[in-house]
Amino acid sequence: MSGSLPVGPELPEDVEAGVEPAGGRADGATITPYRDGPLLVRGNFRLVDQDGAEIDPGRDTIALCRCGKSGIKPFCDGSHKRSGFSAPSAPSRPRPGAQLRRGQG
């Protein structure tokens, strides 16, 4: 089908497709929230919609939209740059459930 989407899912400039991050696990996926950008998913993963239907990502490393502005959701198309989306890479504070689990251990 030659009439596919004009813009493919984009990866941040500092990310090399298919390269596992340091400390990554070979048996599962690594999900990295990029500051002011997408969620980068690397590794062995399945992408399914809410009904359980498989979505073919077309590659081993994908960028998922976090800003809600992408024209090719759930994939990132770079719209976060134009929309001024802002979000940190890491949580600003620990999740309450994580604190409770650490206290029980």
pLDDT digits (tens, 9 = 90+) for 51-84: 999 999 999 999 999 999 999 999 999 999 999 9
What order do you get walking across the sheet with 29-33 strand by strand? 29-33, 39-43, 61-64
What does the buried/exposed string (b/e) look like for 30-43 if buried means 16 or more CB atoms within 10 Å of the residue's CB? bebbbebbbebbbb
Model-wide pTM > 0.85:
no
Q: Does residue 49 surpass a pLDDT of 90?
A: yes
